[in-house]
Amino acid sequence: MRVNEGYHAKFVPRGGYKPVTGYQELGALVHHELSYYRRERDSEQHLGRRRWSLSVPGLIIWFAVITWQGPNIRFNLNYSWYATLALPLIAMGVATGHIVNERKNGTVGWWLSLPMPRYLLVLSKWVASILLTAQRSFYVAGIALLGIYAMMLNGTVSPTIVCHFLLNGLTWTLIMYCLVPPLAALGLFMGTLTYSRWKDLIPGVWLMLVATGWLPVAHPGLYLTVNQALTVTIKPAFALAVFATWLLSGFLLWLATRILTRVTGL
């Protein structure tokens, strides 16, 4: 985040700081985080055009392959929903990027000096990370459209099949979105840990993350069941696990706040 005097002035106006509610403070901070990424995107339009020019040929080739092989497709199109597994990882990367940007631009001290509670500063980055992840998840809609297009070419399209395909994709997407908040909190924690004296703990945190990821494998059918058609069914234990990870999110955000305060001494 680059130093923006106009933004700082919104919170320290002439005549002194005017108290506002926590929701107003959080809303203003989240709006600024999103505005920063929009400005970064606008300043890199030439780079975005270059990426787009590189991705268009790939999309054309992929569309041509589906059109050519569509009548012969025999694999289960529900496999394409495995692409939603990237959503929590996207959230983690976006959240870590928030801290990296503060460090890269040398604005951590200024950011923490804003006249509002520290937890709101960290919470705003967490909320913004979740919203930015949702913004980057439109590729899921592309998967749905390509799947329906392949069904049409294959001659297997029907309202029942399409509804089953879309509902299954919606279920997979909702499951992954349940994991976005804790992974975003973990990303903020990892980002702050990287620039602290406790950065040697990062490998241990990664090991704990991998070990936690193996829990569904160690207890198959406890949290989710996936049949041969890749239709997923949510079990009650999954809701309890999600609730536990959301509680863990709060703890990780608290740790990130404490680490930032210790590192900067503010």
In a domain, 58, yes or no: no
For the chain, the average pLDDT equals 76
pLDDT at 49: 53
Q: Which domain holds residue 248?
A: 5-43+75-264
Tens digits of residue pLDDT in 15-33: 444 444 566 778 888 887 8
Local confidence band at 75 (pLDDT 50, 70, 90 cut-offs): low
pLDDT at 3: 41
Q: Look at the chain and report how many structural domains it folds into.
A: 1
In a domain, 55, yes or no: no
- Tally Cβ neighbours within 10 Å of residue 150: 20
In a domain, 70, yes or no: no
What are 233's strand-pairing partners?
A: 225
In a domain, 146, yes or no: yes
In a domain, 50, yes or no: no
Q: Range with the lowest mean pLDDT among 156-170, 173-187, 192-206, 212-226?
A: 212-226
- Tally Cβ neighbours within 10 Å of residue 253: 21
Contact 193, 201 (CB under 8 A): yes
Helix (H) / strand (E) containing 232: strand 232-234
What tokens appear for 235 in the block? 């079990």
In a domain, 247, yes or no: yes
In a domain, 182, yes or no: yes
In a domain, 141, yes or no: yes
What tokens appear for 52 in the block? 């787009």
Contact 187, 210 (CB under 8 A): no
